[in-house]
Amino acid sequence: MATIRRIGDSHEIAARWFWRLAEGDASDQDKRAFQAWLEADEANRRNFHSVAETWSAMDSLIAEHQHEMHAMVLQDTNDVLRQQRVNLRRRGFLAASIAAFAATVIGGGAWYANLPSSYSTGLSERRTFRLADGSTIALDANTRVRVRFSEDERKLWLDAGRARFNVAHDPLKPFSVTAGDRVVVATGTSFSVEQLSNQVRVLLYEGSVVVVNKGASTKSAQYVTTTSRTLAAGQELVLDDGKALAKASTETPDLSQSSSWEDGLLSFDAVPLTTAVERVNRYSDRQIRVDPSATDVRVSGVFKDDDSRGFVEGVTAVLPVTAREQGNVIVLTAKP
């Protein structure tokens, strides 16, 4: 099975992908290549949705002639698809959308309907998105969230970074966020989830959430088990990699400080230096690294999120660490 080559402009490639997926027999390799192309540039996603919307805009016309078109497709499917491939080569993305409709009538195209939407931010960028159900997600810098809604579930995945979720209340459609091997489940609440290199942190601002291990059912109250953890407003659950959920620690942080990142500030209260640096690194291409000798050092203070050099100057002035430059990386080392 030939895969899509990355040739031509983004609109043409989007049309070719739409046709390829609409055929309904895309291989796993094709799907991975498509996902990579989709995530490589926001313009790719916009152009692909443009192709899909062109098909959607035909709905009223299709409704008027559905019987005739359906009969035409069933009369000689092979001839129709063969002709649509010719049209695709001749007329670009509009013909691809029409061809995709023909394939959809005979059962193709279902895979795209289940493709998660992706929301992301780059270095030193924060954005807020409103979802189809009325919920909002506020993304910290260098963060990526995928979203997929169905008739009975609202499923999200935090692949990197940190995000705050303000969930529209709907007890019949649980709202779940998967981060690593943990799943946070809510029906209407406000909470944040942060994915760190060796830890997941769940902070509840209001309402109630349940944290379960990945693989547990989230479609009903059955997810509340003896291995789940329920948070109350104001609590933060710290989930270390490799540690059982039942042994995860619960903290009660200052909520105003914990949400300061939404206002452009990074607030730390006796936070491990490695954690503080990981958060600072979301905002600068000048990365900081912590030497193993300084991993036990803890940081307190408030810093501007876009001033990594100010952070380095601050911690070296008051903490037993020194900084040295290695190329474009600043290394923090414990003082002898």
Q: Is 201 a domain residue? A: yes
Q: Report residue 87: phi and psi, to 5°.
A: -60, -40
Query: Is 15 part of any domain?
Result: yes
Contact yes or no for 216/223 (Cβ under 8 A): yes
**Structural domain boundaries enclosing 90:** 10-113
Cα–Cα distance measured from residue 4 to residue 13, given in angstroms and rounded to the nearest whole number = 8
- Mark which of 251, 279, 311 sits at the end of a domain: 251
Q: How many domains does the chain have?
A: 3
Q: What is the pLDDT along the chain (336 residues), one digit of tens a residue?
A: 334 434 346 767 877 777 667 655 677 777 778 878 877 877 777 777 666 655 444 443 434 444 444 444 444 444 544 555 444 444 444 444 444 444 443 344 444 445 568 899 999 999 999 999 999 999 999 999 999 998 888 999 999 999 999 999 988 888 999 998 899 998 789 999 999 999 999 999 999 999 998 765 555 444 444 478 999 999 999 999 888 898 899 999 999 888 999 999 999 999 999 999 999 999 999 999 999 999 999 999 999 998 999 999 999 999 999 999 998 899 999 998
Last residue in a domain, options 92, 113, 134? 113
Is the Cβ–Cβ distance between 258 and 251 less than 8 Å? no
Residue 236 lies in a domain: yes
Question: Which residues face 129 on adjacent strands?
Answer: 137
- Whether 219 and 310 map to the same domain: the answer is no
Q: Kindly list the strands in the beta sheet with 329-334, ordered across the sheet, starting from the edge strand earlier in the chain.
A: 288-290, 329-334, 321-326
